[in-house]
Amino acid sequence: MKKVEVQKLAQVEPKLREGYTERMNRTEAEQTLLDTLANAVAVAEVAKTFAEVWRGGERSLETHIDTRLKYGHIDSLAEYPAKTVAAMENAKAYLVAKGGYETMVAIDAGDWVLVYTFNGTLVTAYQKEASIEAFDQRHARLGWTVNEVTQNDNIRAESDRLLLQYRKFLPG
């Protein structure tokens, strides 16, 4: 549908225009976020353990969890997937960074941040601290383009699909 047709439709039915605008004029950053979430769902669907959604696999995840334990961000290995799920449930901002060898997406939950590669693997999840450079600041400093994407129904639906998959990694 051409933009002119959407504008004509807006004159007839404003509610329809909003839906079409969201679908037809999606920003590149929003589309990247949706694609990344869809890729993460696909990765999680076939994963049998939390380590299988982690970039670098089990050894990399173990090293990362040891770091989180050392800094007091978590109290146990089992707590890490739970913190990841809680961060997704409490997402406040979505950031898309492009400029390096792979696109990165951050889900900011206020006190925790999740970072994904475009292919849907989880790179890190960490507690925000003053001593840790913010995702957007770090990538902007590196010369990347960073865009914030506003949550909408499409993003929430894709996030909910991912949450369903991640909940299978929680104990009990």
- Which pLDDT score, from 0 to 100, does residue 25 have? 47
- pLDDT at 39 > cutoff 90: yes
Tell me: the pLDDT tens digits for 85-131?
Answer: 999 999 999 999 999 888 999 999 999 999 999 999 999 999 999 88
- Which pLDDT score, from 0 to 100, does residue 78 have? 84
Count H helices and E strands in the chain, helices first.
7, 5
CB 97 within 8 A of CB 146: yes
Domain ranges of the chain: 27-169
User: Looking at residue 97, what DSSP letter applies?
Assistant: E
Q: Say which residue, 24 or 83, is predicted with more confidence.
A: 83
- pLDDT at 19 > cutoff 80: no
**Over residues 47-52, mean pLDDT:** 93
139 residue type, one letter: H
What CA–CA distance (Å, rounded) separates 113 from 128? 7
% pLDDT > 90, the chain: 74
